A = this chain, B = another copy of it.
Amino acid sequence: MSLDRDKGVTAPAGFTAAGIAAGIKDSGNLDLALVVNEGPNDSAAAVFTTNKVKAAPVLWSQQVLKEGRLRAVVLNSGGANACTGPEGFQDTHATAEKVADVLECGAIEVAVCSTGLIGERLPMDAVLSGVDAAKAALKSDTQAGLNAATAVMTTDSRPKQSWKAHEQGWSIGGFVKGAGMLAPNLATMLAVITTDADVDKGTLDAALRKATAKTFDCLDVDGGTSTNDTVLAMASGASGIKPGADEFVALLTEVCWDLVRQLQGDAEGVTKEIFVTVQGTRSDQDAMVVGRIIAEDNLVKTALFGSDPNWGRIAMALGRAPVDIDPDLLSIVINGIRVMDKGTRGEDRAGADLSGREVTIVVDFGLGDGAATILTTDLSHAYVEENSAYSS
């Protein structure tokens, strides 16, 4: 059974969701989402941004998630609530209290996520009345999940969902938002993942860390790691089925990968979806470091925007990596053409056809068994346009 991008967080049993227009955004678009775990279980896990400047909702949710259980998560677009001081933290706390109030649970069971402009307070009247409206709109149908996925969008051009069922009768669904500031150790990105599998909080936490390491952590659009990044998973146990740990990780990774591919495909100004595979390094970690340096290099990214298989810029970029390199062993293959072969020019670069949307770069260090693949995009006029015109 393949992945279904028309379903999301409400597809697994035991979840309701809503996405409403609270008036946080001037545009009147949907801007507040609520996802509720209706049980019977309440296992939860999350991974957060590694940025040292963390938004108030991240500081709050990190505390809440220490318990490993959640009743609900409330999310807003239209404001990141980052760099807002103690007042911003109070705003997050008040939002969680309000959700706890309408759901008749404790605030400690409510995670909060925000996305949008840094440094501005949220319009709390709109947020709090929005929670009432979201509670009233909670449903378990497909539209409710789509509304929630839509309400978290900022510069995203479309909502991004994924769902897949396991043949044993349980499933995993989710949504994600993010289009720029996508980088190492999570993108500017909020993701909510739900499952009706019966998994305890320890299993869920370990599975989420394994899955994000191979998916969200491998996306690097512009080196930016936001103040607000959060990937949150909740398990209802409503299917009554307890999957094996390995098969749960496998399906979770599949859903996360599908969400990441959608982030890559909808990145700001994207005209190329680029896969940078680095292999032959001394370690996987070295390969990851090199892959990110190539993925973040503006000269590489602009060359690819120009459909130019300019391998010299790739060689230049990787030469900056703090890892073992023997230039005489380096090879670079672009879309199947070995343009650099053991330190010098290989096949004619003109043979590498980059006219399509997908570009595959394989760099071989010839030193060991390390390998990693980073997903990135090109640097286009549209990227500059969006990011010079939009305050985010």
Contacts and interface: CB of A to CB of B under 8 A. Distances in A.
A319 interface: yes
A319 B50 CA distance: 8
Contacts of A117: 312
A137 interface: no
Contacts of A87: 344
A237 interface: no
Given A297-B223, A308-B391, A384 B302 contact: yes
Contacts of A169: none
A29 interface: no
Interface stretch (A17-25, A78-86, A95-103): A78-86
- Residue among A227, A328, A340, A380 with the most chain B CB within 10 A? A227
Contact of A391 (B120, B223, B310, B327): B310
A241 to B, nearest CB: 41
A380 B388 CA distance: 9
Interface in A15-58: 50-54
B383 A302 contact: yes
Contact of A343 (B85, B306, B385): B85
Contacts of A88: 344
A65 interface: no
A94 interface: no
A: interface residue count bin: 35 or more
B388 A306 contact: yes
A224 B120 CA distance: 34
Interface string A215-237: 00000001111110000000000
A312 B388 contact: no
Contact of A298 (B313, B320, B349, B387): B387
A272 to B, nearest CB: 11
- Residue among A297, A328, A388 with the most chain B CB within 10 A? A388
A115 to B, nearest CB: 12
Contacts of A392: 299, 310, 312-313
A297 B316 CA distance: 19
Given A305-B384, A340-B83, A54 B316 contact: no
A345 B83 contact: yes
Contact of A119 (B223, B320, B321, B345): B345
Contact of A53 (B52, B316, B383): B316
A274 interface: no
A345 B84 CA distance: 6
- Residue among A88, A303, A312, A343 with the most chain B CB within 10 A? A312
Given A88-B344, A118-B313, A380 B387 contact: no
Given A119-B345, A223-B298, A223-B320, 13 more contacts: A52-B327, A53-B315, A54-B319, A83-B343, A88-B344, A117-B312, A118-B311, A227-B315, A305-B388, A306-B387, A310-B391, A379-B384, A381-B385
25 contacts: A51-B319, A52-B319, A52-B321, A53-B325, A80-B312, A83-B315, A85-B328, A85-B345, A87-B344, A119-B339, A119-B340, A119-B344, A121-B345, A181-B316, A224-B316, A225-B316, A225-B319, A227-B315, A298-B379, A298-B383, A303-B387, A306-B387, A310-B391, A312-B391, A383-B384
